[in-house]
Amino acid sequence: MFLKSLLRKKERIGIEITSNLLNIAQLRQQGQSYYLQAFTSINLPQGVVQDGKIQRPDQLAELIKSALMTNKIKAKQVAATILGQTVTQVIAIPAEMNDEDLRDMVLNQEASLYLPFPREQADIDYQKLHLFIDHDGIEKTKVLLVAVQKEITNSYLETFHQAGLEVNTLETTSCALTRTLKGQLQKLTFEEAIAILDIEFDCTEISIVVGGVPQFSRTLSIGAYHLVAALSRAMYLPPSRSMNTLQDITIPLDWQNTTSPAISALLRVLDNLTDDIISSIDSFLRQEPDLRLLQLLLSGAGCVLNQLDDYLSMRLNLPIKFIDPVRNVGLITNEDIPLQRRVRMGAVVGLCLK
């Protein structure tokens, strides 16, 4: 089983692979303090990673080895995030069931009920959460189930093997982000939830965290690339994979009255993304009517749009904040890292935390 512990195992060297970026971080712990020894972000050529699967393991392995050598990072074991559509489901199991029987029920009976692909094609992990009393007065255990297609996990393991590295933790981005937010999440009750929006190159992942664990996850088909493409078409520019265009754009707070064709094109894509976010949140809260959603946190390469937080806050009627791992974790750094760079460090820093 390659999807290892969601929360327990943590490494000091983390590698995050997205559709367009390779992010690597190295943290050193001294007492209660964490020092950022290295962080690098490298653009990936088109086609190396596609549809959540590493299509060119040999090429990506060489890029990883080169990045580690350039940044003088010596690594044998690493923690990594896995891209691609994962199945995340919270299920209820009778509390009197022992660990062995619970494991058998989750992996061999319950899992197949929620998988969109055959059970034998899945790598599955699970974690017991907490006890609760259901509506019939029966004590049960909530269990978090996470599954990924084996062909996707195998593509990651093959890549790191070719890079001369051992992966001892392979987990979803949302799990890594919750570790970065651990101090904040510990203050919440089981009736309070936080949503995390990770806007990456070709998709966006929304997760809802309860009790420090992502209990809902959905991959939305709109990502930063779709925003860039809309701007490029409106400005008669050639197609581009660069996120630099977004950094120069500010969403006007009175966006309903904009006369700019470029901003109007961008807003049409953002409107569709926001509608998907609202639909996802509503879908989860209908299943958990007793939960109260407190705020939404932003992460990822697509968060460089100026005033994106204000726009989403007005559309969603929720407090919006960026995930800033330097501030959240209290990282000690040798340089002042701009916020636009820090917002894409959340997952890779979460991988490193010990």
pLDDT in tens, 132-163: 888 888 899 989 888 999 998 999 999 999 99
Least confident of 2-6, 43-47, 237-241: 2-6
Specify burial of residue 133 (Cβ count, 10 A radius: 0-12, 13-18, 19+). Answer: exposed
pLDDT in tens, 53-64: 899 999 999 999
Confidence (pTM): 0.87
SS3 258: coil
The per-residue pLDDT for 189 is 87
Rounded mean pLDDT, 157-183: 92
Structure tokens at 304: 């460089």
The per-residue pLDDT for 57 is 95
User: Is the predicted pLDDT of residue 86 greater than 90, yes or no?
Assistant: no
The per-residue pLDDT for 63 is 97
Identify the CATH number of the domain defined by range 186-322.
3.30.420.40
What gap in Å lies between CA 136 and CA 158, rounded to an integer? 48
Domain ranges across the chain? 186-322
Average pLDDT, the chain: 89
Per the CB < 8 A criterion, the answer to whether 29 and 12 are in contact is yes
Provide the CA 85 distance to its chain's centre, in angstroms: 11
Most confident of 28-32, 82-86, 226-230: 226-230
Nearest residue to 129 via CA among 149, 143, 110: 143
The per-residue pLDDT for 84 is 66
Per the CB < 8 A criterion, the answer to whether 321 and 298 are in contact is yes
Residue predicted with more confidence, 232 or 242: 232
